[in-house]
């Protein structure tokens, strides 16, 4: 355990990872960034608040304290593009989602700085993920990992038009069992729209840790921020959030039931 992330341990075989929930930028990095970048506009806002019911279900939670602008925990350190042919952000992003620069001219991180961030921020989070899943597998025999995300409903850089509300990803069926996908597909999420393995099929965490042959099942949810926020002002909307949380609880309970069904 170190101060780059928080880990809350539960008592069933479900772990929720929130890799883009952090908002902090260390001073030595912040001074090289633009004023807009220091406001971390591409954060997966309020994900921890949306899933605040999970602890009562015995679910473990891991979340970083630092922004995805420091280093993206949902990217491969080898720089492999998870969506070939589609626009994507780097391990250490150089531009915001709207393509504006994150760094002042000439202040972009070099390879030595990127490696330092891997060592200090990326590796501790992933070591904790690995250790937690390993311990859960030993204790419970069956594990479900939910990689929880959210994004603006319109981001022309990544997709055209309006994103569906619930975007589930299982790496085209590679990161979790078909049975779990069937359970998710049967959930009543109305009036919200949903898709499985659409634009967002699961990032590095889903693809790396999901291993259904070993009874480790990983699923990503990219939730449209229009379901719980006033997107223009990046403000949490209690009324909207209360409604979508009902559906999130159905989904998370589905994962918990699957994990405990031996």
Q: Model confidence over 211-261: pLDDT tens digits? A: 999 999 999 999 999 999 999 999 999 999 999 999 999 999 999 999 999
pLDDT of residue 82: 67
- What distance in Å separates the CA atoms of residue 237 and residue 20, rounded to the nearest whole number? 20
CATH number of the domain where residue 160 is located: 3.40.630.40
Q: Model confidence over 107-139: pLDDT tens digits? A: 999 999 999 999 999 999 999 999 999 999 999
Overall number of domains in the chain = 1
Q: Which domain holds residue 93?
A: 5-260
Q: Model confidence over 48-107: pLDDT tens digits? A: 999 999 999 999 999 999 999 999 999 999 876 666 656 678 899 999 999 999 999 999
Q: In terms of Cα–Cα distance, which of 20, 8, 3, 1 is closest to 54?
A: 8
Q: Model confidence over 139-182: pLDDT tens digits? A: 999 999 999 999 999 999 999 999 999 999 999 999 999 999 99
């Amino acid at each position: 355990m170190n101060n780059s992330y928080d880990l809350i341990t539960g008592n069933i075989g479900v772990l929720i990872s929130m890799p883009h929930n952090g908002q902090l930028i260390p001073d030595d990095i912040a001074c090289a960034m633009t004023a807009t970048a220091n406001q971390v506009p591409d954060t997966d806002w309020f994900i921890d608040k949306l899933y605040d019911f999970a602890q009562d279900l015995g679910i473990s939670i891991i979340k970083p304290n630092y922004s995805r602008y420091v280093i993206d925990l949902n990217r491969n350190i080898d720089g492999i593009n998870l969506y070939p042919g589609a626009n994507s952000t780097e391990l250490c992003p150089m531009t915001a989602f709207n393509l504006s620069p994150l760094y002042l001219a000439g202040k972009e991180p070099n390879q030595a700085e990127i490696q330092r961030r891997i060592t200090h921020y990326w590796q501790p989070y992933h070591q904790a993920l690995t250790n937690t899943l390993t311990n859960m597998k030993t204790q419970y025999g069956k594990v479900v990992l939910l990689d929880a995300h959210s994004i603006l409903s319109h981001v022309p850089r990544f997709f055209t038009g309006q994103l569906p509300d619930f975007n589930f990803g299982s790496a085209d069926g590679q990161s979790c069992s078909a049975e779990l996908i069937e359970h998710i597909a049967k959930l009543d999420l109305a009036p919200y729209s949903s898709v499985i393995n659409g634009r967002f099929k699961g990032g590095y965490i889903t693809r790396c840790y999901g291993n259904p042959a070993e009874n480790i099942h990983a699923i990503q949810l990219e939730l449209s921020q229009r379901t719980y926020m006033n997107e223009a002002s990046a403000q949490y909307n209690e009324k909207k959030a209360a409604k979508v949380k009902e559906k999130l609880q159905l989904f998370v309970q589905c994962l918990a039931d699957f994990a405990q069904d031996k």
